[in-house]
Amino acid sequence: MFDCRCLSTNLVSNGTMKSRRIEFGDINGVDDALSIYGLMIERKPLPNTRLFNNLLSRLVKLKQYTVAISLFRDISILGVSIDNYAMNIAINCYCNSHRVDFGFSMLAAFFKRGYMLDAATVSPLLKGLFQENRIAEAQNLFRKIVREELCEMNNIIFGVVVDGLCKAGNTAMAIQLLRVMEKGSCRPDTHKYNMIIDGLCKDKLLDSAMKLFDEMPHKGIDRDVFTYNVLINGLSTFGQWKEVKALWKEMIDCKIYPNVITFTTVIDALCKEGLVDKAHDLLNIMIQKIMFLL
């Protein structure tokens, strides 16, 4: 049985057969991937499906989507058994290449093979539609998934939809989705709240952002440094320094310490307001904090 994380192959050097163990994690670019792929297809019999999937996964991590699609097609022609994992990779690559229609075209083969849809199948399709600004289609697909129970819902799917709605400026619907999640098994988490608060701040709806921020502890949702950073950024943009100071103090009291992003956000806003002295004082505090940590 092959190790799904590596490939062992035999090489001839000076007339001597030597075994070479190739780790897929060592692939750092397309040339490495194609070289290993060449070694794989020379084997008789061909390596199992898991090894090809591992190579495709590595290409996805390197964001070499078109190369992964090309190899997926070639593997299919070679007669390697294509499982749902490989097909999900192909759908993901099409969607990340802004070819979501090709991703949808894969579904026919998906169903023909009797595979069941899961989060890894539908999440890239939803994300791809949002990225192509096909918001209504993304919303309709999401409703269809929920209504017809096409797959088991999880936080990944909800996260894609919340993120897509917020980036499209539809934070009101994102909040509605948050309320739906509260009644189901996939409960909202810090990440979902952060995305919506960030979206509200970017839409200049600071009062709504603060309201959502205030409800988090009452709903048992932890705040983190990103939660404070997006609010501080929004408040600083509009010169609401009293509120920024209150949030800063609250962070420290809750042992959520400002990071570089927090400092640079406020310093940048102070400089834009012409409050260079205050920015200088904050920079000194930042330096002292760093020196203390060292």
Q: For 81-117, give the DSSP string.
A: PP-HHHHHHHHHHHHHTT-HHHHHHHHHHHHHTTPPP
- pTM for this entry: 0.83
Q: What is the pLDDT of residue 272?
A: 75
Cβ partners under 8 Å of residue 60, min gap 6: 68, 89, 92, 93, 96
Q: What is the pLDDT of residue 174?
A: 96
Cβ-based neighbour number of residue 159 at 10 Å: 19
Three-class DSSP labels, 34-59: HHHHHHHHHCCCCCCHHHHHHHHHHH
Q: What is the pLDDT of residue 3?
A: 41
Cβ partners under 8 Å of residue 269, min gap 6: 233, 236, 237, 239
Assigned token pair, 265: 């956000």
Tell me the helices (H) and strands (E) count for the chain, helix number first.
15, 2
Enclosing H/E stretch for 10: strand 6-13
Cβ-based neighbour number of residue 73 at 10 Å: 11
**What residues does each domain of the chain span?**
1-82, 83-152, 165-223, 226-294
Q: What is the pLDDT of residue 47?
A: 87
- Longest Cα–Cα distance of the chain, Å, equals 78
Which residues make beta-bridge pairs with 14? none
Alpha carbons 292 and 183: distance in angstroms, whole number: 45
Which residues make beta-bridge pairs with 22? 7
Spell out a b/e string for 76-94, using b for 16 or more CB atoms within 10 Å of the CB, else e. Answer: eeeebebebbbbbbbbbbb
Q: Which residue has the tokens 């103090």?
A: 249
Of 241, 188, 217, nearest to 161 by C-alpha is: 188
pLDDT in tens, the chain (294 residues): 334 445 554 433 344 434 456 677 778 889 988 988 998 898 888 888 999 999 999 999 999 999 999 999 999 999 899 999 999 999 999 999 999 999 999 998 888 899 999 999 999 999 999 999 999 999 999 999 999 999 999 999 999 999 999 999 999 999 999 999 999 889 999 999 999 999 999 999 999 999 999 999 999 999 999 999 999 999 888 888 888 888 888 888 888 888 888 888 877 777 777 777 776 776 676 656 555 544
